[in-house]
Amino acid sequence: MEKGIREMFTRRVQRARRYRALILAASTFVGAAAIQPAFAEVAPYDLVTPVAEYKIYVTESVQKLVTETRAFTEAVKAGNLDKAKALFAPTRTHYEAIEPIAELFSDLDASIDSRADDHEQAEKDPGFTGFHRIEYGLFEQKSTEGLTPYADKLMADVLELQKRIASLTFPPDKVVGGAAVLMEEVAATKISGEEDRYSHTDLWDFDANSAGSKKIFDLFRPLIEKDDKAFVSKVEANFAKVDKILDKYKTKDGFETYDKLTDADRKVLAGAVNTLAEDLSTLRGKLGLG
Ligand SMILES: [Cu+2]
């Protein structure tokens, strides 16, 4: 029953101890998704176009990720602290946008995007690499010193990701399930500000995570719209609610730091994202993928 989504959760739980609480939440969603009948009108063939279009979206995002990671890592290696700090958040958005399918490249997800507490010796752990290791140097130690090997590794990992994406098949259940899992991760853990704990650029990530999940929803929406208008409207209203809160914190270059988010807004945001996660988790069932 619901093996795909359970595996997805399992792997994510393995990736980070902090997901432990999600198992409970997951089983609730799995139960809900399992009893959801698929709409008779959705044939497997109907999934081909949205999946193909999603692959284009991912390919384009990864192309931007490669270009911007090059500029970011070059700034790090050149010792240009201010420039590297300024490029950190915008560069990451192209990775965060494709995070719904991170499970399809979980080894690279770990080396590109893991947090210090995914590693035994935290910040001192030699296995702690990627964006957040560099973030630690730039924003916490306020220096580019010693970051060259991490910059080189990040660039190599991002190029490897691009290579892999090119030949990757995208199983529709993983794509659709991934959007729900990511929203659940935002609601359960990212909402604490744990992801960008040194730079506090979390709102950039939320925006990209939400856009990346909405992209998936938008691509599959035509298949369910006729049969479940109320569902579609509800999901759209919650995506709009998330956008509206994020809009309040937009600056001319991006977003305010996470500490500016008021408790009231954080609550509304968490509520909307939680409901999105629940609703999106029924999408697989609705599409006959359950
Ligand atoms: Cu991330």
- The tokens describing 192, both together, are 């604490």
The whole-angstrom separation of Cα 247 and Cα 229 is: 26
Residue by residue, DSSP assigns 243-267 as HHHHHHTB-SSSB--GGGS-HHHHH
pLDDT of residue 3: 47
Ligand 1 mean position to 210 CA, how many Å? 12
CA dihedral in degrees (114, 118, 121, 127; nearest 10)? -40
Ligand 1 mean position to 196 CA, how many Å? 9
Ligand 1 mean position to 92 CA, how many Å? 8
Ligand 1 mean position to 242 CA, how many Å? 18
**For the chain, how many helices (H) and strands (E)?**
12, 0
For the stretch 163-206, pLDDT in tens is 999 999 999 999 999 999 999 999 999 999 999 999 999 999 99
Ligand 1 mean position to 252 CA, how many Å? 23
- The tokens describing 102, both together, are 């991170």
pLDDT of residue 45: 87
The whole-angstrom separation of Cα 168 and Cα 31 is: 30
Ligand 1 mean position to 225 CA, how many Å? 30
Q: How far is CA 207 from the centre of its chain?
A: 10
**Largest Cα–Cα distance in the chain?**
59
Ligand 1 mean position to 113 CA, how many Å? 6
For the stretch 26-68, pLDDT in tens is 434 444 444 455 565 688 889 999 999 999 999 999 999 999 9
How much is the pTM?
0.87
The whole-angstrom separation of Cα 108 and Cα 106 is: 5
The whole-angstrom separation of Cα 218 and Cα 109 is: 25
Ligand 1 mean position to 47 CA, how many Å? 27
- Mean pLDDT, the chain, integer: 89
pLDDT of residue 41: 66
pLDDT of residue 39: 60
Ligand 1 mean position to 236 CA, how many Å? 23
In contact, 212 and 96? CB cutoff 8 Å: yes
Length of the chain as a residue count: 290
The whole-angstrom separation of Cα 91 and Cα 68 is: 5
Ligand 1 mean position to 46 CA, how many Å? 30
Query: In this model, does residue 4 exceed pLDDT 90?
Result: no
- The tokens describing 159, both together, are 């190029």
In contact, 15 and 130? CB cutoff 8 Å: no
For the stretch 120-134, pLDDT in tens is 999 999 999 999 999
Q: How far is CA 97 from the centre of its chain?
A: 6
Query: In this model, does residue 6 exceed pLDDT 70?
Result: no
The whole-angstrom separation of Cα 286 and Cα 40 is: 9
DSSP state of 37: P
Which of 20-29, 223-232, 269-278 is predicted with the least confidence, judged by mean pLDDT?
Answer: 20-29
For the stretch 216-263, pLDDT in tens is 999 999 999 988 999 999 999 999 999 999 999 999 999 999 999 999
Residue by residue, DSSP assigns 212-250 as HHHHHHHHHHHHHTTT-HHHHHHHHHHHHHHHHHHHHTB
Ligand 1 mean position to 102 CA, how many Å? 9
Mean pLDDT of 112-116: 98
Ligand 1 mean position to 203 CA, how many Å? 12
For the stretch 134-148, pLDDT in tens is 999 999 999 999 999
pLDDT of residue 42: 80
The whole-angstrom separation of Cα 215 and Cα 218 is: 5
